[in-house]
Structure 1
């Protein structure tokens, strides 16, 4: 991404902060993350990392549409998909959490990781988000893949550790 896109992405993300100027100053001076309000410009669908990484891989297969902003928390082993605010939607699944209005999300700046948080797909500054339909299909497909893989990984490891 070139610098004007980074600037747009910073502006777009910081708009969700209580004080956007303060948020940008904190990012500029390397203090890590900012707490941003969910439910106004975007919600976050937080899923276990294996499910999220597989779903993101499915989403990358559409050559016409890059996935929306996607954040990984490497310590909590969760992937967060940024999608349009929707207080009515019901996301169901093992370990799936819908973070919306009234919640806060720790977010690093779009141009670098901060501690345990990093962007798998940084925001592009245009306001592009994950479309709920394709995201749901990708999560279903990823869930199916994990269900197929689960019995294999449940077997005891052989003498060589595999």
Structure 2
């Protein structure tokens, strides 16, 4: 059952590449990441890692609902949420980037990490994506939590200097 899911996920994700077969070869025999086009099957909302990880934690609160595909780039310190193309939500915030039509995203295969790229929630092959409204709410909650934590972090930083 698991191998069927991985095959579906590979096909779904590779379908967004210019050449799906070359994409799969790159995953298996190349660098391990491939460029796939945003805007046709999905867009990506890229946010700073602390914000993204807190938002993902909030999305996991509902045990009956698995969040959509979520990617982390540990070197860039970014989390990418895959959502439907051209969402109606306005994505506003420090370091928030909406990646849509005409943009390309580097992704590892859904079945393993590749260098600095790793799936926190891999695609399942069904086309399940983050619901923009739910993601927006989770990001707002995470932003509020970070705002409360920021003064505490600053106090510790000053105390550590003495």
Q: TM-score range by the shorter chain?
A: over 0.9
Structure 1 pair 102–71 and aligned structure 2 pair: CA distance change class (3 A): same
Q: Is the 8 A contact 2:43 2:84 kept in 1?
A: yes
Matched, 1:105 2:79: no
Matched, 1:67 2:67: yes
Structure 1: state its 5+ residue gaps.
none
Q: Is the 8 A contact 1:70 1:79 kept in 2?
A: yes
Q: How many angstroms apart in 1 are the aligned matches of 2:116 and 2:90?
A: 28
Query: 1:1-162 maps to which residues of 2 (within 5 A)?
Result: 2-86=2-86, 89-155=89-155, 156=157, 158=159
Q: 1:32: Cα distance to partner?
A: 1.3
- Per-residue CA deviation, residues 102-145 of structure 1 (Å, 9 max, x unaligned), is 10000000011111100000000110000001100000000000
- Per-residue CA deviation, residues 55-99 of structure 1 (Å, 9 max, x unaligned), is 000000011211000000000100000000016542111110000
Higher helix share: 2
Structure 1 pair 30–2 and aligned structure 2 pair: CA distance change class (3 A): farther
State the number of aligned residues. Answer: 160
Which range moved further: 23-32 or 112-121? 23-32
Q: How many angstroms apart in 2 are the aligned matches of 1:68 and 1:126?
A: 10
Give the alignment's Cα RMSD to 1 decimal: 1.5
Q: 1:27: Cα distance to partner?
A: 1.2
Structure 2: state its 5+ residue gaps.
none
TM-score by length of 2: 0.94
Q: How many angstroms apart in 1 are the aligned matches of 2:42 and 2:49?
A: 20
